[in-house]
Amino acid sequence: MSSRIRTRSSATIGALCLVASLASLSLTSASADESAAAPQAAPKVALTKVATGQNPIAGTAGPGGKVWIAERAGTVRVLGAEGLGEPVLDITKETTTDGERGLLGIAFDKKFAHFYISFTNLEGTSTIDEFAMRHGKIQPDTRRTVLTQTQPYSNHNGGDIKFGPDGYLYIAFGDGGSGGDPHGNGQNLDTQLGKLLRIDPRGGKPYAIPKDNPFVKDPKAKDEIWAYGLRNPWRFSFDSGTGDLLIGDVGQSAWEEIDWASARSKGGENYGWSRMEGTHPFRDNTEPANHVRPVHEYDRTGLGCSVTGGFVYRGTAIPDLKGQYVYSDYCDGTIRSLEMKNGKVTGANDLGANGGEVVSFVQGCTGELYVLDIGGTISRIDRA
């Protein structure tokens, strides 16, 4: 977000979700083979309102194929046929909504055995907490803090969390805030700010560092770092079909960018901030020799002002959209997609729908996507 706020538990359930994922992957592979012979069409989608929340800000697929939704003030609720249920977690007394703070991200591990929340506490410190799950329910007495990061300002907190295909927890932190990265955090490997982190939350107390993290042998770098040079990686995701990583990194004043890394990456990518904003030198800086340029960028000559990263579509409801990266912009709200091949964008599409103040996307267990409007509307992306 920009400087102003864009105000699996049981084995059976885990197996069901895995079957659905494998089915989706099989369909994806078939679709990929077909797309090699003919270019993808630009599909049109419709948004179906499924619920209304109080500033819904993040979400994830949960036990039983349900979608769990985080509300910025500190509540987590489960999406059902009648909308959102009563809160299954409430930390409203532990966080604030000043600046860009609040409950910012939620995630389950692959077996739905543990639930993780990412929030800023009352002092503004970014905090990752863990809960054990039992029979699809949070066990409050098992709560523990996994990782914290102090924040010098109330904006650019990042806060998104996801488990990667490797089973490790990835955590996105912004550069610390203010404007223009005044502390130089983006390029400084001795801070977790402006970085994508990778940790093993169950491998140690409070966590373990994966041995193959890119900077573990560098005494001048934080071992947790997976990638750096990020301004405010508000939303990132892994392609459930390929394992590739995509990051929507919010720009400073001129360029919004989407970054990509192959599933085969060993980490260590430098996405350029604050020497670069997209593919453009920032404040007369020179481009780093190891700069990984974005796969897509757009300027602010239109209505866009803050990219909201999404997901590569791997559902079945919209066949023409399969394999395309779906994203939006908080200020513009247009639902868009990128067609990609081998890490290169081959087409950019306007999907013909507007999600309002789009603050996040959610990928359900079967690959269908939901759009969150910070104003309250939760919509499913359907075929037009």
pLDDT digits (tens, 9 = 90+) for 277-296: 999 999 999 999 999 999 99
**Would the pLDDT of 31 be above 90?**
no
Give the residue-averaged pLDDT of 135-152.
98
The pTM assigned to this predicted structure is 0.91
pLDDT of residue 42: 78
Answer whether 120's CB lies under 8 Å from 177's CB. Answer: no
**Would the pLDDT of 378 be above 50?**
yes
> What would the pLDDT profile of 221-251 be if each residue is shown by its tens digit?
999 999 999 999 999 999 999 999 999 999 9
> What would the pLDDT profile of 63-100 be if each residue is shown by its tens digit?
999 999 999 999 999 999 999 999 999 999 999 999 99
Cα(198)–Cα(171) distance, integer angstroms: 7
pLDDT of residue 6: 39
Return the percentage of the chain with pLDDT > 90, whole number.
88
Is residue 34 very low, low, confident or very high in pLDDT (cuts 50, 70, 90)? very low
Which of 126, 6, 134, 1 is CA-nearest to residue 63?
A: 134
pLDDT of residue 39: 54
pLDDT of residue 171: 99
Token digits of residue 244: 């590739």
**Would the pLDDT of 261 be above 70?**
yes
Return the percentage of the chain with pLDDT > 70, whole number.
89
**Would the pLDDT of 276 be above 60?**
yes
Long-range contacts of 177-182 (CB under 8 A, 24+ apart): 177/99, 177/100, 177/151, 177/152, 177/153, 178/152, 178/153, 179/3, 179/252, 180/252, 180/274, 180/282, 180/283, 181/231, 181/273, 181/274
Least confident residue range of 3-12, 186-195, 229-238: 3-12
List of residues 6+ apart from 74 with CB closer than 8 A: 90, 91, 92, 93, 94, 95, 102, 103, 119
177: left (phi over 0), alpha (psi -120 to 50) or beta: left
pLDDT of residue 40: 54
> What would the pLDDT profile of 243-258 be if each residue is shown by its tens digit?
999 999 999 999 999 9
pLDDT of residue 41: 60
Answer whether 313's CB lies under 8 Å from 322's CB. Answer: yes
Token digits of residue 34: 């077909």
For 228, counting Cβ atoms within 10 Å of its Cβ (0-12 exposed, 13-18 middle, 19+ buried), the class is: buried
> What would the pLDDT profile of 109-137 be if each residue is shown by its tens digit?
999 999 999 999 999 999 999 999 999 99
pLDDT of residue 26: 37
Which of 94, 48, 131 is CA-nearest to residue 368?
A: 48
Instruction: Give the mean pLDDT of the chain.
Output: 91
pLDDT of residue 73: 98
> What would the pLDDT profile of 328-366 be if each residue is shown by its tens digit?
999 999 999 999 999 999 999 999 999 999 999 999 999
